[in-house]
Amino acid sequence: MQRDVFREYDIRGIWERDIDKEFCFLLGRAFGIYLKENLKKPSGIISIGYDARLSSKDILKSLSDGLSCENIDIINIGLVPTPVQYFSLFNLDIDGGIMITASHNPKEYNGFKLSLKKETLFGAEIQRIADIMEKLGSACDIRAGRVKQADVLSEYKKFMLDQFGYLKDYNSKPKIALDGGNGTAGFVGYDIFKELGYEVEGLFIEPDGNFPNHHPDPTVEKNLTDLRRVIKEKNIDVGIGYDGDGDRIGVVLKDGSILWGDQLLLLFAQHIAKKRTDVKVVADVKCSDVIFQKMKECGAKPIMYKTGHSLIKSKMKQEGAILAGEMSGHIFIGDRYFGYDDAIYVSLRLVEILTTEGIDLVQWKESLPKVYNTPEIRIDCPDEKKTQVITKIKSYLNRNKDKIGILEINTIDGVRFKTDYGWGLVRASNTQPALVMRFEASSEEKLKELKDKIINTVKGFINE
């Protein structure tokens, strides 16, 4: 068994190299044992959903056999986006769940997102399941008849139509382009928008585990090319892209520009703050300084926290926040919803704002203070060196505070430093042997100067 497939937020690897049928069987047993230990009872019941990947049904069979060995009943909710599997945790009387998915990874990958009761597992809990799994043998009494079917997807659609059904009465509605990337969310979002009376141009909404048109990751700009083309050709008001399993969103405006994840988070914060007080918003360390400033201006209370959808979700609960998000397009809404990352629900809330308020998103984006920033920059760094390099860069920044003009250093996740002209971030990736960096400044010249100085310093520490 390869321990490195047990990651910070989920379990993920290449099918038939890292993950095979025996792995899935043993994982089913290990999760069953973990579930019973935490529930303090001899049996349990969970839901399982799966994405469009070619290996998903084989995985489901082996995983179910392992769970059955441990006296765990299974409700198979079928091919669904991850948010529908999360929805089942609230909709069904169950003890937890598993989503079979590798999200936006290439097609040869697959994996698992695990939940106990209504909470997704991460960090030490995933490692605990790996510990259990390492000690297991393959022999086990597989009991038949432990798998039931449930149409949770229809319940999910009904929930959305009940909440947003009033939008049918609006005569003036924005035209939408929806790119499903051949993942599991496109056909669901498309059906809901059509039912609400919207004119929707659907791109690649049929699930296809080969992902034949483009990689299902809407936060990478090249994957939005088709969406931009259709927006221009058909005079579309807003373009929406879902990732492979529907928990991340990308948004393209009518002028072809991108509304990034932190900007979308700000839009929701401003909207919700008009109607509620004490709006706490958790935002990850990669978000722009502008976003934190503008949130304060609208009366919201921003909280900067570590990157990672499970970590953000946990912090959101701890702080009693009703909104959270990441640059990566994970948006969590607890206002009128359950607080997990659901790109379909997020797209409905976005279109609701456009419909009811008539806001021009291009003008709204242009009204934000002008800054220059980099995308996420990844530099290879061996896992065993990552902590050491982060420690050295912290020390370097503290020693050179006056020289660089540093006003503040935040070490919540790696190191994020603020100057009077911008900010920078260096953190260890939780999913790859790499360091992640991002920079922002008031001018292109300042941005280049800051970025080059820190990247060269980091590379020097890596090569020592």
pLDDT in tens, 270-292: 999 999 999 999 999 999 999 99
Regarding whether 215 and 146 lie in a shared domain, the answer is no
Q: Are strands 323-325 and 280-284 parallel, antiparallel or unpaired?
A: parallel
Tell me what the mean pLDDT of segment 56-77 comes to. 96
Tokens representing residue 361 in the block: 């998103």
- Residue 160, in any domain of the structure: no
The 10s digit of each residue's pLDDT in 110-168 is 999 999 999 999 999 999 999 999 999 767 766 655 899 999 999 999 999 999 999 99
Angle between helices 152-164 and 82-91 (to 10 degrees): 90
Tokens representing residue 356 in the block: 């009811």
pLDDT recorded at residue 142: 67
Per-residue b or e along 347-363, where b marks 16 or more CB atoms closer than 10 Å to that residue's CB: bbbbbbbbbeeebebbe
Chain centroid to Cα 390, Å, comes to 25
Residue 90 pLDDT > 60, yes or no? yes
Regarding whether 425 and 321 lie in a shared domain, the answer is no
- The residue type of 387 is T
The 10s digit of each residue's pLDDT in 395-448 is 999 999 999 999 999 999 999 999 999 999 999 998 788 999 999 999 999 999
Of 358, 387, 406, the last residue of a domain is: 358
Give the CATH number, domain containing residue 440: 3.30.310.50
Tell me what the mean pLDDT of segment 45-65 comes to. 97
CA 120/CA 116 separation, integer angstroms: 6
Give the CATH number, domain containing residue 45: 3.40.120.10
- The residue type of 275 is K
The 10s digit of each residue's pLDDT in 294-315 is 999 999 999 999 999 889 999 9
Contact predicate 101/115, CB 8 Å? no
CA 11/CA 4 separation, integer angstroms: 9
For the chain, give the mean pLDDT: 96
Regarding whether 391 and 267 lie in a shared domain, the answer is no
Residue 391 pLDDT > 60, yes or no? yes
CA 277/CA 281 separation, integer angstroms: 12
Output the CA torsion sign for 35, 119, 350, 180: negative
Contact predicate 10/126, CB 8 Å? yes
Please, where are the H alpha helices in 177-273?
186-195, 225-234, 261-273
Classified as helix, coil or strand, 258 is strand
- The residue type of 359 is I
In the DSSP assignment, the letter for residue 103 is: T
Tell me what the mean pLDDT of segment 208-226 comes to. 96
For 118, 140, 289, 460, the CA distances from 441, given in Å and listed in that order, are: 40, 59, 10, 23
- At which residue do the structure tokens 């960090």 appear? 123
pLDDT recorded at residue 316: 97
Q: Which residues are catalytic?
A: 12, 103, 330
pLDDT recorded at residue 144: 55
Tokens representing residue 153 in the block: 């997807």
Residues 6+ apart with CB under 8 A from 251: 238, 239, 240, 241, 258, 259, 264, 350
CA 227/CA 223 separation, integer angstroms: 8
- Residue 179, in any domain of the structure: yes
- Residue 167, in any domain of the structure: no
Of 378, 377, 396, give the one whose Cα is nearest residue 388.
396
Tokens representing residue 385 in the block: 């060196």
Residues 6+ apart with CB under 8 A from 35: 44, 46, 70, 72, 95, 96, 116
Regarding whether 245 and 210 lie in a shared domain, the answer is yes
CA 71/CA 432 separation, integer angstroms: 35
Regarding whether 127 and 238 lie in a shared domain, the answer is no
Longest dimension (CA), the chain: 69
Contact predicate 36/28, CB 8 Å? no
pLDDT recorded at residue 145: 54
Of 259, 284, 300, the last residue of a domain is: 259
Radius of gyration of the chain (CA): 22
pLDDT recorded at residue 431: 77
- Domain boundaries, position 40: 3-151
Contact predicate 329/218, CB 8 Å? yes
In the DSSP assignment, the letter for residue 276 is: -
Instruction: Tally DSSP H helices, then E strands, for the chain.
Output: 15, 22
CA 426/CA 407 separation, integer angstroms: 16
CA 263/CA 291 separation, integer angstroms: 7
pLDDT recorded at residue 187: 98
- Residue 207, in any domain of the structure: yes
Residues 6+ apart with CB under 8 A from 49: 77, 78, 79, 80, 82, 84, 85, 88, 97, 98, 99, 100, 152
Q: List the 258-259 sheet strands across, edge first.
A: 200-203, 176-179, 238-242, 249-253, 258-259
Regarding whether 402 and 281 lie in a shared domain, the answer is no
Of 259, 284, 319, the last residue of a domain is: 259
Regarding whether 398 and 282 lie in a shared domain, the answer is no
Regarding whether 313 and 346 lie in a shared domain, the answer is yes
Regarding whether 414 and 382 lie in a shared domain, the answer is yes
Regarding whether 255 and 274 lie in a shared domain, the answer is no
